[in-house]
Copies of this chain bind each other. A is one copy, B any other.
Amino acid sequence: MAKFSRGMGKKTGLAPGTLLPLNGRVDEVTIEVISYDAAGVREEQPNTVSEVLRLKNTHTITWINIIGLHDVEVVERIGKGYGIHPLVLEDILDTNHRPKLEDYGNYLYLVLKSFRRQDGTVLDTEQISIILGDTYVITFQEEDKLLFDSLRQRIRGESGRIRQLGADYLAYAMLDTVVDNYFEVLEELGETIEELEDALVMEPGRNALMEIHSLKRRMLLLRKGLWPLREVVGALGRGESQLVKENTLLYVRDVYDHTIQVIETLETYRDILSGMLDIYLSSISNRMNQIMKVLAIISTIFIPLSFIAGVYGMNFKNMPELDWEWGYPVIWGIMLTIATTLVVLFRRKKWL
């Protein structure tokens, strides 16, 4: 499970804007540059930052995608090349950041969270930093190379609207992809919840509580990414920046609608989950009741009978009943009468 506090507090006392690499990520940094306009597409994978910067001055839309954040120098030099503020670069490297939107005049800086998944299991969060300029989009990802795959396909395709439109539409398409990613994660979550619910009705297994708790934690993680995302998309949709054109705003507001929908579904799931906790706890206590009832009934019937047997097991010399010929069958009769009376009583009280 993804941790909540990854790498917090490691920078106390350092000057702001001091760039620190992310530990333990040793893969090479992948840089990918896609330039396109209505006429054509050109894809490159430059090895050095200088190559990236050389590709800058074209009249096409340029998308620079950097996957891997452990090489501080790459981030720093691209940042310098595009005139990005040092605080932005610092935020790009802090993968523990919450989604936000910052307007630096000639470029917008967006932080988003998506989820890396494998076989329906969420592996980890993936922070995506998007810098949206007038004709370029720079994205910084942690490691999920597949996330924007369908987007690449749409750019490559000739008929797509994306090739006719500007960098703001590209950034919108990324937002859309990320929100769709949430839809998928939520759908999986919804299925897990439905399975768990069915399991709960059948038999309140011992692990149910743990699973509910783990689902709750995953939802907390989703919420942490979603609520600020809503603000981000909402702010973008208000059209305060010149970088997002009127035409694109409609699409951004559509994404906003989807974000609200995701959040509402998440909140609904939370309500369902807490309802399930009630059911679980009540089922447990119901089983307990069942067991105690059986114990109570068995005990209540046999304790008086055993007492009677005990009485006639006493060794007093002078016990006339013992010598009476019909003593034994009469005692059996009495015991059976007591037992049936009690059973009838329990039936009446609806205990049986």
- Partner-B contacts on A (CB < 8 A): 3-5, 8-9, 11-17, 85, 87, 90-91, 96-98, 100, 149-151, 153-154, 160-162, 173, 176-177, 180-181, 183-184, 186-187, 190-191, 201, 203, 206, 209-210, 213, 216-217, 220, 224, 250-251, 254, 257, 260-261, 264-265, 268-269, 271-272, 275, 277-282, 284-296, 298-300, 302-307, 309-319, 321-328, 331, 349-351
Contact = CB atoms under 8 A, between A and B. Distances in A.
B85 A250 contact: yes
6 contacts: A9-B180, A15-B154, A90-B254, A91-B254, A213-B278, A318-B326
A150 B180 CA distance: 40
Contacts of A302: 303-304, 306-307
A316 B217 CA distance: 65
Contacts of A298: 299-300, 303-304
Given A9-B183, A216-B275, 13 more contacts: A5-B265, A8-B186, A12-B181, A13-B154, A14-B150, A15-B154, A16-B176, A100-B257, A209-B279, A299-B303, A302-B304, A305-B307, A310-B310
A13 B151 contact: yes
B220 A210 contact: no
B271 A220 contact: yes
Contact of A8 (B206, B265, B287, B350): B265
Given A87-B250, A254-B16, A314-B315, A9 B292 contact: no
Nearest to A257: B100
B306 A16 contact: no
A139 to B, nearest CB: 16
Contacts of A294: 296, 300
A348 to B, nearest CB: 13
A282 B282 contact: no
A294 to B, nearest CB: 6
Given A154-B15, A184-B12, A315-B319, A303 B300 contact: no
B318 A328 contact: yes
A261 B13 contact: no
A9 B184 contact: yes
A343 to B, nearest CB: 14
Nearest to A298: B300
Nearest to A227: B264
Contacts of A220: 268, 271-272
